[in-house]
Amino acid sequence: MHKYSTDGHLAGVSAYKIDGHSITVLFNEGWVYLYDEEKPGLHHVRKMQELAKQGSGLSTYISRYVRENYHRKWRQKSGQTTQYRPL
């Protein structure tokens, strides 16, 4: 996963992983969400990928336009650390 950069602003997103037609997002509270071409659709996924790379606006976009329309949701295991990869 890549660390989500916010230029010092508070964000609900901690990290993300872009994989073709999907994006996996790790939120600060430990929940991981998978968004793909099926749910919420490729239009939203592309916009989320763009915002993730920019390091700004991803959490806001998800809460405004995507909400509960995710493909899969799971909890990061307790004590599990996230391995960040350089862009």
Number of domains making up the chain: 1
The answer to whether position 81 is within a domain reads no
For 13, the domain range is 2-75
The answer to whether position 8 is within a domain reads yes
**Residue 80 pLDDT level (bands cut at 50, 70, 90):** low
Better-predicted residue by pLDDT, 8 or 42: 42
Please state, for a pLDDT cut of 90, what percent of the chain lies above it.
78
The answer to whether position 20 is within a domain reads yes
Q: What is the pLDDT of residue 16?
A: 97
Better-predicted residue by pLDDT, 15 or 8: 15
Mean residue pLDDT of the chain comes to 90
The answer to whether position 34 is within a domain reads yes
- If DSSP states are collapsed to H, E and C, what string results for the chain? CEECCCCCCCCCEEEEEEECCEEEEEECCCEEEEEECCCECHHHHHHHHHHHHHCCCHHHHHHHHHCCCCCEEEECCCCCCCCCCCC
The answer to whether position 87 is within a domain reads no
* pTM of the predicted structure, to 2 decimals: 0.86
The answer to whether position 66 is within a domain reads yes
Please state the rounded mean pLDDT for residues 54-61. 94
Please state the rounded mean pLDDT for residues 43-58. 97
